[in-house]
Amino acid sequence: DAGVIQSPRHEVTEMGQEVTLRCKPISGHDYLFWYRQTMMRGLELLIYFNNNVPIDDSGMPEDRFSAKMPNASFSTLKIQPSEPRDSAVYFCASTQGGSPYNEQFFGPGTRLTVL
């Protein structure tokens, strides 16, 4: 298996623009997670899905952020409009349900820079 796939790997955009980050989880995994990593706040969980349904979005910073999972093999995280403080590395992870003990497998991340 190719692991969790994220695209793009790097994104540079200007303030006010819309940004869409993409994630393909590992086949057969029914949980998908979006994390954000910054120097100031470390690794934070933004939202997670189970069987394509958002379960907990309490970590989403504000209404500018939205996430969707239209099917089991694809999810997006959208920021509209983007701001410089959104600059971070965004990770997607997936796991097979049944137990929270199961390892979450992380993608390589998308490094977002908002100018």
Partner 1 sequence: AQSVSQHNHHVILSEAASLELGCNYSYGGTVNLFWYVQYPGQHLQLLLKYFSGDPLVKGIKGFEAEFIKSKFSFNLRKPSVQWSDTAEYFCAVIPSNDYKLSFGAGTTVTVRA
User: Which H or E run contains 74?
Assistant: strand 74-79
CB closer to partner 1 out of 38 and 80: 38
Q: How far is 42 from 38, CA to CA, in rounded Å?
A: 5
CB closer to partner 1 out of 37 and 81: 37
Query: Per CB under 8 A, which region of 19-27, 69-77, 80-88, 90-98 contacts partner 1?
Result: 90-98
Query: Per CB under 8 A, which region of 15-23, 61-69, 70-78, 87-95 contacts partner 1?
Result: 87-95
CB closer to partner 1 out of 28 and 101: 101
Specify the 3-state DSSP secondary structure of 9.
coil
Residues 42-81 binding partner 1 (CB under 8 A) are 42-45, 48, 50, 55-56
| Other residues' Cβ atoms within 10 Å of the Cβ of residue 18 | 11
DSSP of 13-65, one letter per residue?
E-TT--EEEEEEPPTT--EEEEEEEETTTEEEEEEEEETTEEEE-TT--STTE
Q: Which residues bind partner 1 (CB under 8 A)?
A: 4, 31, 33, 42-45, 48, 50, 55-56, 91, 93, 95, 100-101, 103-104, 106-109
